[in-house]
């Protein structure tokens, strides 16, 4: 039985804080104003996995509040000093997603944003399946989900070839992210809809066949008697290039598609174009590549039975010393490097594999040699195995190598799509100084003809939204938006980023997906690949 807390809870003295952190909205706090004056020492009691847990509630002059338990669906408030309960000791049942959706909608509307966003534009038809990943295999499907949490890959891995559309009311990743690109490659239609009435109407079509069309950016749908009987076109097997055997460290200037794969090769090209002045005011962080042959030799060297000897070889052995010396020769601090994947399956013209393999930052002299192995082992992750199987990539075809590179912690990081099908460069820009709490990226368009920069979607800061039990927003507290403060100085830098993306587009004769950052006004590029699936 579904319970709508906004309509069914009559007690009006509790409040809820939805906290926005990056793309994530979560029910963060539960509060009471204790109007009935039941006591002075309230505690929040949550029922989690069959056990009751309690947290003391602190007073801020207005509310007594405590952090909500993860996945809170019911709670009680008990006053330790008097032994009294609010609501007669009955648990209050809530649905956190309702409050999160209200806050998300208010957040979007405050910027004048649309309540719909099309991640992938198209038209298709299928049977509506709602809020389950137990998806039937015998018919085309339009999958409708209240929420796609985290990076979205937990849903992506469950999508069979017969899932033709994904529609959600809450999506936690941006339009130019690796996850968004993966969905564009997978389904014909993907939309986020924050209009509750429209989304509920769509959910009410569960079990029925519908056609969907979001080519205009707004999703339209209608019931249909028939659906297309074919599933999306069969996924072609990816032709993975076989790399020549190389067992020595390779400088960026030596990289070719034959000795290290396309990702590293393009990094070498970026370096040359930067040094030759073709790319204007762009720096490529220093580094080198450990090819597959070198990694295999090192693995054999470390493979000894005596644990003490193994640790000695890992921390002070010949390969460790060689890598340390190489890093030092570049003038780079080994404790401030990044270990990046560089597989022969990455950044191919028809297959990007973006986000499939791992990269690791180093914080001391020991970690690099542990992370090198971690990067290689990431080919065995559940996501990697899913993608390999989907595209017919055999384990025997995968040749991992590793990039060791100077890590630049930017003030702002960006993803650039050099073409949006409408003569614009698209830029997603994030204030990276917030670290793992980085906010929803701003979206920027650069017109290739007029050279004008337009901020199409502002970056929103971290925020708190206080709601009552009816879902009415009582307070909205936003942090400072440093991007607003820096905007005038960012515009000329972003124009350079965009114009350099055009240079790469012409050089590679294909629209480019570029990753980089801005630090103290200086532009860094650390990757470019052909766009496999364009945003709409």
> 456 lies in a domain?
yes
CA distance 361 to 78: 45
Report pLDDT for 11: 47
Report pLDDT for 364: 73
How far CA 47 is from CA of 44, 55, 284, 442, in Å, comes to 10, 12, 52, 38
Q: What is the CATH number of the domain that holds 212?
A: 3.50.30.10
CA distance 331 to 325: 10
Verify that 294 and 373 share a domain, yes or no.
yes
User: Of 183, 204, 223, which residue is a domain's last?
Assistant: 223
Q: What is the CATH number of the domain that holds 306?
A: 3.30.1490.20
Report pLDDT for 290: 95
> 100 lies in a domain?
no
Verify that 64 and 28 share a domain, yes or no.
yes
Note if the pTM is more than 0.75. no
User: Of 406, 425, 452, which residue is a domain's last?
Assistant: 406
Verify that 59 and 146 share a domain, yes or no.
no
- Render 166-197 in DSSP notation, one character per residue: EEES-B-S-TTSHHHHHHHHH-SEEEEE--HH
User: Of 94, 124, 150, which residue is a domain's last?
Assistant: 94
Verify that 127 and 213 share a domain, yes or no.
yes
> 99 lies in a domain?
no
> 31 lies in a domain?
yes
Of 116, 44, 118, the C-alpha closest to 76 is 44
Report pLDDT for 233: 46
Beta pairing, strands 442-447 & 24-32: unpaired
Of 76, 101, 111, the C-alpha closest to 91 is 76
Verify that 264 and 359 share a domain, yes or no.
yes
Identify the segments of the chain with pLDDT beneath 70.
1-12, 22-23, 111-113, 150-151, 176, 228-235, 365-367, 434-440, 533-536
Verify that 258 and 377 share a domain, yes or no.
yes
Report pLDDT for 7: 37
For 246-258, the pLDDT digits (tens) are 999 999 999 998 9
Q: What is the CATH number of the domain that holds 21?
A: 2.60.40
> 264 lies in a domain?
yes
Place of tokens 């014909």: 188
CB 361 within 8 A of CB 331: no
User: What is the token pair recorded at 210?
Assistant: 């519908």
CA distance 78 to 45: 7
Report pLDDT for 111: 66
CA distance 82 to 532: 64
> 124 lies in a domain?
yes
Q: What is the CATH number of the domain that holds 452?
A: 3.30.470.20
- Computed on alpha carbons and rounded to an integer, the radius of gyration of the chain in Å comes to 26
Verify that 209 and 300 share a domain, yes or no.
no
Verify that 263 and 384 share a domain, yes or no.
yes
> 472 lies in a domain?
no
Verify that 258 and 195 share a domain, yes or no.
no
Of 493, 466, 492, the C-alpha closest to 478 is 466
The domain in which residue 215 lies consists of: 111-223
Verify that 115 and 156 share a domain, yes or no.
yes
Longest dimension (CA), the chain: 77
> 265 lies in a domain?
yes
Verify that 389 and 427 share a domain, yes or no.
no
Verify that 269 and 374 share a domain, yes or no.
yes
Instruction: Count up the domains in the chain and report the number.
Output: 4
């Amino acid at each position: 039985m579904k319970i709508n807390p906004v309509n069914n809870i009559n007690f009006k003295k509790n409040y809820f804080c939805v906290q926005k952190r990056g793309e994530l909205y979560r029910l963060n706090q539960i509060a009471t104003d204790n109007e009935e004056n039941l006591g002075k020492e309230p505690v929040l009691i949550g029922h989690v996995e069959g056990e009751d847990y309690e947290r003391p509630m602190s007073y801020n002059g207005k509310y007594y509040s405590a952090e909500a338990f993860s996945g809170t669906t019911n709670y009680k408030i008990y006053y330790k000093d008097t032994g009294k309960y609010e609501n007669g000791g009955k648990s209050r049942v809530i649905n956190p997603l309702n409050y999160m959706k209200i806050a998300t909608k208010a957040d979007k509307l405050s910027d004048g944003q649309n309540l719909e966003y099309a991640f992938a534009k198209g038209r298709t038809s299928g049977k509506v399946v709602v809020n389950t990943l137990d998806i039937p295999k015998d018919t085309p499907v339009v999958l409708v989900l209240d929420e796609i949490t985290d990076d979205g890959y937990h849903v992506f891995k469950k999508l069979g070839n017969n899932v033709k559309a994904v529609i959600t009311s809450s999506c936690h990743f941006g339009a130019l992210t690796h996850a968004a690109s993966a969905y564009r490659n997978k389904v014909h239609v993907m939309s986020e809809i924050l209009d509750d009435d429209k989304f509920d109407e769509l959910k009410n079509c569960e079990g029925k066949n519908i056609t969907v069309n979001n080519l205009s950016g707004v999703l339209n749908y209608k019931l249909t008697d028939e659906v297309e009987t074919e599933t999306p076109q069969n996924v072609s097997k990816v032709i993975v290039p076989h790399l020549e055997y190389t067992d020595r460290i390779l400088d960026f200037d030596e990289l070719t598609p034959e000795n290290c794969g396309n990702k590293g090769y393009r990094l070498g090209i970026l370096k040359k174009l930067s040094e030759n002045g073709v790319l204007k005011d762009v720096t490529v962080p220093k580094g080198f590549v450990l090819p597959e042959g070198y990694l295999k030799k090192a693995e054999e060297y470390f493979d000894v039975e005596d644990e003490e000897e193994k640790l000695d070889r890992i921390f002070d052995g010949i390969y460790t010393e060689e890598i340390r010396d190489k890093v030092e020769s570049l003038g780079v601090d080994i404790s401030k490097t990044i270990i990046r994947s560089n597989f022969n399956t990455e950044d191919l013209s028809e297959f990007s594999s973006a986000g499939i393999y791992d990269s690791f930052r180093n914080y001391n002299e020991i970690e690099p040699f542990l992370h090198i192995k971690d990067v290689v082992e990431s080919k065995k992750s559940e996501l990697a195995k899913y993608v390999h199987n989907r595209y017919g990539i055999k384990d025997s075809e995968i040749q991992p190598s590793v990039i060791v590179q100077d890590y630049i912690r930017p003030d702002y990081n960006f993803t650039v799509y050099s073409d949006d099908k409408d003569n614009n460069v698209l830029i997603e820009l994030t204030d990276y100084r917030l670290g793992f709490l980085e906010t929803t990226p701003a979206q920027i368009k650069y017109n290739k003809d007029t050279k004008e920069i337009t901020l199409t979607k502002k970056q929103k800061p971290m925020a708190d939204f206080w709601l009552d039990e009816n879902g009415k927003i009582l307070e909205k507290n936003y942090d400072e938006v440093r991007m607003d403060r820096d905007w005038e100085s960012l515009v000329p830098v972003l124009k350079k980023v965009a114009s350099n993306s055009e240079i790469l587009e012409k050089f590679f004769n294909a629209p480019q997906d570029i990753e980089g950052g801005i630090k103290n006004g200086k532009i860094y590029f650390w990757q470019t690949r052909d766009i496999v699936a364009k945003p709409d």
